[in-house]
Structures are given as C-alpha cells and as structure tokens.
Amino acid sequence: MRGKTFWDIERSRRRAAWILFLLFFPFFTLSLVGLFYILRFTGFLWGGKFPEFLGVASLISLVVFLIGKAGAKREKILEYLVSLRAQRPDLQDLKHKQAQNVVREMAIAASVKEPQLYIIPVLARNAFSAFDIIAVTEGAVSSLERDELQAVVAHEMAHYLRGDSYYKGIISTFLMTITSLFGASLVLAGLSDDEKGRTRRGGGGRMWLIVAYLYLVQFMARVLNAAISRRMEELADARAVQFTRNPLALASALYKISRDRVRGLASFANPALSSLFIMPPTASSLDEGSGLFSNLFSTHPPINKRIGLLLDLAHSDWGTLRDRATRRKPTGEWWVEREGKWLGPFTLEELFQKTWLREGVKIKGKEREFVFGPEFLKNFQKIQGGCPRCGGPLFNTHYQFVPVIKCGRCGGILVREGRAMKLIARGEALITKGEKKISEEDLEEKRKILLKKGADPRAVDPSEALRCPFCGKPMERRFFNFVTYTPVDYCKRCGYIFFDSGELEIIISGLQRLSSLYKKA
C-alpha cells in the first residue's frame, strides 16, 4: 500500500462505492424475479413469463427506491438526536466554541455550506453525520486534541459532501423490504405446520422453500450493504486527509475512539444507525477482526486496517502513533499539600482549578513555599451571593474551559446541571496518582457507611441542607452517580449543582478507574 496518495485511494474507493450501490437495483429486481419463479414452481402463482416478471419486479424496485428517497429525511435524525439528549453547542464553553470553529473551518475547506453541529452529552468519544448535521460526543470535544477533532469533523464533512445519508437511507429501505418479505414468509410457513410441528398437507413444504430462498437473498443483501458502507468509510477517511493534510491526526483520533467505546454511548446507540458513526458505538469482534465474517458483515473496515492505511500516508508507524495518543501535557512546577501528602506537579492554571484548593493550604514551587490565601481572587470577577457551604465569596471562572462559579474560601464550585458532564470529561487530564489514591480510600469509607445505613446520601454527608445562593431555597442532596457514591447538592429551581471541595476530583478518579477496568476486560 506504500506509495499511494489519498487521491489514489479516493478514486478507487469512490469507484467501488458507486459500483456496489448501483448493483443493489439489479440485485433487488432479479431477486424478485427469482421469487416469482419459486412462487410459480410451488403453485402459489399461475402463469407468467420472464418479461412479465422482470417488468413487475422493475416497477416494484422503482417504488421501493422512491419510498427510500422520500423516507431519507432530516427529521428522523433530529428525532434520534433528541433521544440522545444532544444539544447545540454552548458558546460560553470554550471547548464547544472551538468545536464550532473547527466545523466552520472544515466547511470552508470542503467549499460547502456550514452544517449544524450538535453535542451528545456522553463521555465516549465518537461522532456521526447525516444530511446537514454533524454530531460529536462530549468526550470527543473535550479530550481530543484540536487537530484530531478537526480530522474527525473532516471525515464527517466528507459524508455530508457526498450525501451518503441519502444512499444509506435508500439501501436501508431495500433491506427492510427484503426483511419484511422474509418475516412474512416465516410466519406463513409456521402457520402451515400443525400443533405438533408436522407439515400440513399441500402447503408447508412449499412455504419453507420460499423461506430458504428469501433467507439467502437477505444474507446476500446484508453482505452487499456492508461492503458499500465500508467503501464509504474508507472514502471519507481519504477525503478527511485531503481536507486536513494530516493523516496522523485522523489515525490518532481513530486510535483513541477505538479504545473508548465501552463508555456511555452503547446504551443510546440505535443498531439501525450505527453505520452513521465514524466507528461503531459498541465494540464488536466483527469490527475489530479481519477474517471472513468481518469482511462480509462489518459496516466499517477493521480499525487496524484503517489506521495502518493512514500511517502509510503519514509515513509513520504504530510506535509514533501510540506515543502521540498517550502523551501527557507538559507538567508544571507547583506542588500542593492535601491530607498530609504533596500532590503534583501542576501548572499554576491547573493548580487553581483544583476544587479542594482553599485558604490555608500549603503550596510550594521551585523557589518558595507559601500558604494559599485570598490574593489570587483579585484576578476574578466577584458575583453576588455567598457560598452555600461556607458563605465565602463566589467568583466566575473556568474549569477546563467550562464556565463555573467557585468559592474563594472553601474551594467548592457551582455548575449548571447541563455542564456537569463536561467537567467530568475534561478533568481526566488533571488527575494525579495521589488523587486517585485518595479517591480509592474515600470510596472504601463510603462503602462501609452505606453497608450499615443504606444507600442514603445523608448517611455519607449528614450536614445541614444547603441553600441555593441565587434563590435561597433548600437544595436537594443526592448521589451524583452510583460509581463513587459522592453526594452533591442540587437546586431544581435554578438548575445548579454544588460540588464540595475535592468531590469533583473523587468522581473523576472513580470513573477513570471504572473505565480502566472495562479496558482490561
């Protein structure tokens, strides 16, 4: 494969995709002709010759094509996005704003109208496109590097540019028609058997012959559909390289996404729409392997093959890819004391984002050690209201580009409910080994309490109910999730969640630990 350019790959994949797509029409038509002959042979149809069968089958194929073309509607994708709880980008969120800018850049590169961007609020990294819509998960927006996100969007832009969602909509209609015929024949064949399972005189055997034929047709149709989908994915990869001129970025993004499909998206993924994603939302041996069944039925090329092709285009190798995908941000030079342990090193920006950083905490750098105090608050704009936990001053700031309200005294933060998932997705880069150890110890203590007193958040945090600093109403105490059993306070009226000092880091560490267990499994 070495020596090929993305132009060569694009030409070959485009030709293959078109040939396979055009084969679907004669395949469906001839399958109907074959069905008519079997119906005549079994006595369910009288008379008829090949020209008549071909004419009727062609008419049915045309009707199915028109139904598929009319049914490939944008409204269905919008309904699917509603089921995924997807939202338009929050432009106050700097990561969402970056994603919106990336979509705009790729639309300019592709010379098309800018599609609408939606964000799916799950931690898994993935993306899909249909019609003039591109949907990217919060995990991808939050944790992919900018050039990796750009490559993913470029891949989806290629589908948008070619109108692949229309092709897939038409093919799915043909598949549904064949499946419906097979299902109906299976029911009729079952009805032709008596209560003891014996074939009734005159009909059962003939019906099972029709079932066997339609099963074979359905099998071949699924193989053809999978082949078309694979060619479309390979073509979109080549187009993405054309738009970005950065095959290594797409290879790195696919590598990260392939290692991350166990988190969050599986429960929302509609099997009928999984072919729309840049990678199937759930891990499957068909998509991972390269054997006969993978080549026949997988809607996406094997991930190793896709990445290997991109590495060839980048004149790179797997070692370079793994180094890039697993590299960490440059560490800082600041250390902070927490529960008798020195944690770090952090950059100054990372240090100030720690929710457990509060007045009186010891901090040290290369040349000095000091006690953290209110002087850093001068850099932030104070807002009305006091901290619900300690009454301290509240300030607008950002946590990993997400707008939050932070207490300058106790370190607690207030965040709108819809933004809480972003904090979890983006905080992973800041978590140290020391914080993970503290999180494990905290979880063990909570388990002991809950075993004695039951799954009640007030058993873990028996302090008085907090009051919302904006409306003054009592806040509801509940578990943020049932992985870390961390109680948080929530105001239904204002839509704010309050995380006490250190709670956010405990939640992030717990979810990281769960994710690592899935990956090992």
Which residues are tagged catalytic?
156
Helices (H), 192-246: 204-244
Residue identified by tokens 């008085």 is 464
Q: Are 262 and 518 in contact (CB under 8 A)?
A: yes
Angle 424-429-432 (CA atoms, 0-180°, nearest 5)?
100
Range list of β-strands (E), 48-165:
116-120, 127-130, 133-137
Residue 338 DSSP SS3: strand
| DSSP letter for each residue of 29-61 | HHHHHHHHHHHHHTTSS----HHHHHHHHHHHH
Neighbour count for residue 58 (Cβ, 10 Å): 16
Angle 429-87-475 (CA atoms, 0-180°, nearest 5)?
75
Rounded to whole angstroms, how far apart are CA atoms 169 and 77? 11
The strand order across the sheet containing 487-491 reads 381-386, 393-399, 402-407, 413-416, 496-499, 487-491, 476-479
Rounded to whole angstroms, how far apart are CA atoms 483 and 485? 6
Rounded to whole angstroms, how far apart are CA atoms 200 and 208? 12
Q: Are 434 and 341 in contact (CB under 8 A)?
A: yes
Contacts by 387-396, CB closer than 8 A, 24 or more apart: 387/412, 387/469, 388/412, 388/414, 388/466, 388/467, 388/468, 388/469, 388/475, 388/489, 388/498, 389/466, 389/498, 389/500, 394/469
Taken in order 97, 98, 104, 107, the sign of the CA dihedral is negative
